[in-house]
A and B are shown apart, each in its own frame.
Chain A
Amino acid sequence: MTETNGKLRYVPTTCPYCGVGCGLNLVVNDGKLVGVEPYKRSPINEGKLCPKGATCWEFVQSPDRLTKPLIKKNGKFEEASWDEAYDLIASKFTETYEKYGPKALGFQVSCRTPNEECYIMQKLARVAFKTNNVDNCARICHGPSVAGLSLSFGSGAATNPFEDVLNADLIFMIGANSVEAHPLAARRVLQAKKAGKTIIVCDPRFTPTARLADHYVRYNPSTNIALINSIMYWIIQQDLHDKEFIKNRTTGFDELKATVDKYADVESITGVPTERVKEIAKLYASAGNAVIIYCLGITELTTGTDNVRSLGNLSMLTGNVGRPGVGVNPLRGQNNVQGACDMGAYPNVYSGYQKCEDDATRARMEELWGVTGLPSEYGVTLTEQITQCGDPIKAMYIFALNPVVSYPDSNHVMRSLEKLDFLVVQDLFMTETAKYADVILPGASFAEKDGTFTSGERRVNRVRKAVDTPGDAKEDWQIFVDLAHKLGLKGFDFNSPEDIWNDVRRVTPSMAGISYERIEKPEALHWPCPTLEHAGTPILHREKFSSADGLGHFFGLEHRPPAEVADAEYPFTLMTGRLIFHYHTRTQTGRAEVLHYEVPEAYVQINEEDAAQLKIQNGEKIKLRGRRGEAEAVARVTDEVAPGVLMMTMHFGGAGSVNQLTNTALDPLSKMPELKHSAVAVEKIAGVQ
């Protein structure tokens, strides 16, 4: 409630889970969190929450929280003072840097942390150690969106806000199970459906989102380019493309046309009959306003960037960019995945996507930060850093990530972390990854610090401190300030997250107009917002595209098969999926009672025919075996996936970790590993009936 009596009060803040950025009230009584209440004033979700949002306060006060810095001595973690921990980190990182140079260090930032912390960590890495080896976990979710949309449109972010789908006549969703992954964005789709708008959902899986569709198209996993090319072929064939838009606002149409000409019939690749493709093409192209929504079914593949660019192609072909009710919208999976990229926790850009390789930009940043010698090269990306552990990376700082569970090929991750000379993990809990650390620093949850999260619609939402950190745990921004001071750095005299945010504004033209004061109300602001007078930019590319030439770029892109396809030895195609009941590696949601009750362990969806053939019962625990490892999961026998296709939950560690099976093969343009496609064999577990 209000702060008047110091007892019961409501603290309006932003949900710590997906990238929709729902508002909610944390309820505080006597300095303790006691619940979440709807924040009906929020225009984003109007008080409504999904199962995760409604329970997001529970993990905060878990007895499992880390409350003291820990230093590993003789293989065992011992409690230490902050000073000891800081001294050790400062000396080890300095030593490594002096001995091996900037390429020997790696910095990894989680997208669940506020902008201010993403910014200060990359600033510290670049200023102190002159390295661009700093990356965030967007690399393994929407890295291809950043790369692909930048190439197509000149900006790597979603073009239109969530609510704007209500202005569309048709919503085209592909590789997006929004009902589970982004429930309050799915609500907008649902509202559009109720208003009579047409919904098309393309997905290999008949998901809860597919159930909303007027037209559901099942296609073979990872055949996105073929499907979209064929849709474009039939749009052009039926003369439904927007010639005016193509002429005035784009370049590269001839290249596109020459390519899609080869994709008239793709049934042998996609499994979708040509007549159906033709029908979908007509529906999409005939709609007055059509918006594209996509998610990780598009990005988490070795074709990720090309898949995204294909959607860029499709939207531009029909003139569906740059006004209300249209656009191309990636749904961002984490609360601050947009922001982590925006803040320059990225190996080739500073905040606001200012390129490190550009001499003038670098000179400007050196002046603003008061340093010299900032590096120009493209730093090492997230999973490549793992591969480089030991050589040349010797010391690594992992902030709020759990790579052992969340990165592809868990066995590879664990072997790699062991090769490091020195590892710092800063987190809330003793995660599977923290066990590999030399120093563990106890940080703060979203409820224990101020800051901002930038949602998938580029809206910079306030996060407000409701309670203090437990024990000796510290607000993460403070940890970086302290470390910077230990390292003797200048430019880190921040006394609050707002101070850090103002530093972001000072060096980032596209955010300069977004002050804390202006985002006090939950309408907040969408970047770009260059001045205090600017009203923000909910819709991108209105008059011209954000690219250097102001044009949208078509690309002729060919279908490529995934790196590892099913064969006689590993006959099943394995996809991964996100559940409504869990967030990432469950360090937070696994500690909410009802979420744990709903889904306590990994499961895998398997088609009824396959299950019958293998004599697998619904609910039986089965083993999946692949080239890199094996995993166990409860079988859910269903017709939601096609024969030969499996979908396994992405959230679990241990025996149920799907990443023991996933592939580290990379998308060449975005370095996205192929999390969504690997080949496995299915076995019954001996003794299980």
Chain B
Amino acid sequence: MVYAWTTNADIAKVAECGGAVTGLLKFALENDIVDGVLAVKKGVDIYDAVPTLITDPAEVAGTAGSLHCGTLLLAKLIKKYLGGAEDMRLAVTVKGCDAMGIYELAKRNQVNLDNLLLIGVNCGGTVSPVTARKMIREKFEVDPNDVVKEEIDKGQFIIVTKDGEHKGISMDDLEDAGYGRRSNCRRCLMKVPRQADLACGNWGVIGDKAGKATFVEVCSDKGADLLSKAVAAGAIATGAANPKGIEIRGKVEGAMLKLGNKWRARDFESLGEGKERLQKIMEDSSRCVKCYACIENCPICYCVECSTKKPYLVPPGVLPVPFMFHLIRYAHVADSCVNCGQCEENCPMEIANSLYMHSLQVGMEKMFGHTPGVDMELPVLALVEEQAERERLFKTGEDQIYNVFK
């Protein structure tokens, strides 16, 4: 675990916290360690996070800085638009949910993890762009167009205006008032994605390095190799991490995890138990209009033949959509749900999809001991080799993917 910062003056100028991440991405691209960089850059303003694929090292600096309104999930984009990184070596900046999503897709042979270099960044959560703008107007009483920078630090959402004014309000207050982070982010326990090759971030950077360096935790041989090469080439400078800083980093992470657990308890309790919970889920999901956004955006869903499109399971073209549609999703996804929140955030009918799926996942994790998204361990009963398994089921007449009850 080291402190690191870029040696490139141009990156240092635009970057936050020393620009180690941007520097590492640029180094990887320049030195043919990867063919492309998948990261996020600013679109029309700071509330608009746009994924970008970069192949020209000169453009990497454009992705410097963090955008907390970036509620994207990069994992599925790699599968959908970049051929699962099958023919392309990609460096990807990942939040916890991105990393978890990539692992789940990798288990199902939908992305090639060998071709991915994952640069993890610690993440305390993200705020949807429209919510952020509303929150800034209504709670901060600032025109959101006048804000040049936002950050989440020490439990506060902090904005900086074009006049250089700083204003912070505690996340707890904002969230109690219905603003703040997405609900899945509140429940998230993947604050530092150590399943990535490197886990970077500013939590615990103290002393004269505060704001000028990034913590880098080396999590894999691939990560170690990148860092040592970058250091050897002089692209990145490192220094020993302050032991006190390491301790603080642990404390920040611990506090975030505690908060995540608090939200889990609160959200899951609100669902009730047993039949009451089922009733609530059935009622809420009865508004479904079959946009398929929950499936399209889910990092677990990848089947070519989706069971929700089997007319004998879910009759086509019928509203309200029979509950079987949602049962299929729960059955196929719940053990592997990584709580990325996309199914809920993109639902036009305001169904708390992510909350339901996550509550099921947490329950199953307790029962079966399987934690999704952290390593390559296969899930309990999900369809992993879809086509082959469908064939086997068809041939044998079985209806069990795994005989878990044997």
Residues in A lying within 8 Å of B, measured CB to CB? 1-2, 4-5, 7-8, 10, 12, 27, 29, 34-35, 37-38, 40-43, 45-51, 53-54, 179-180, 183-184, 187, 190-191, 194, 208, 211-212, 520-522, 579-581, 594, 597-599, 603
Contacts and interface: CB of A to CB of B under 8 A. Distances in A.
Contacts of B350: 187, 190-191, 194
Interface centre among B49, B317, B345, by most chain A C-beta atoms within 10 angstroms, is: B317
Interface of B: 41, 43-45, 47-56, 59, 62, 69, 71-72, 77, 80-82, 128-130, 133, 286-287, 289-293, 296-297, 309, 316-317, 319-320, 345-350
A297 B297 CA distance: 35
A41 B44 contact: yes
A17 to B, nearest CB: 12
B43 A41 contact: yes
Given A54-B291, A208-B289, A40 B51 contact: no
11 contacts: A5-B53, A37-B77, A41-B44, A48-B348, A50-B291, A51-B289, A53-B291, A54-B292, A190-B350, A208-B319, A208-B320
Given A5-B56, A40-B129, A598-B317, A50 B289 contact: yes
Contacts of B54: 4-5
A457 to B, nearest CB: 16
A4 B59 contact: yes
Contacts of A2: 41, 50, 52, 62
B81 A41 contact: no
A35 B72 CA distance: 16
Given A37-B77, A40-B129, 9 more contacts: A1-B53, A35-B80, A38-B297, A48-B347, A51-B291, A51-B292, A54-B296, A183-B291, A184-B348
A38 B348 CA distance: 11
Among B54, B77, B348, the most chain A Cβ lie within 10 Å of the Cβ of B348
Contact of B349 (A29, A190, A579): A190
A599 B349 contact: no
A520 B44 CA distance: 8
B44 A8 contact: no
B347 A34 contact: no
Nearest to A179: B289
A599 B316 contact: yes
A38 B293 CA distance: 9
A580 B319 contact: yes
Nearest to A40: B129
A190 B319 contact: no
A191 B287 CA distance: 12
A193 to B, nearest CB: 9
Nearest to A211: B320
Given A4-B59, A40-B128, A45 B320 contact: no
B226 to A, nearest CB: 22
Please indicate which of the listed interface residues A10, A41, A190, A598 has the most CB atoms of chain B within 10 Å of its own CB.
A41
Nearest to B44: A521
A12 B43 CA distance: 10
A48 B44 CA distance: 19
A29 B51 CA distance: 13
A212 B349 CA distance: 11
A43 B133 contact: yes
Nearest to B284: A194
A4 B346 CA distance: 27
A8 B54 CA distance: 9
A41 B130 contact: yes
Contacts of A38: 293, 297, 345-346
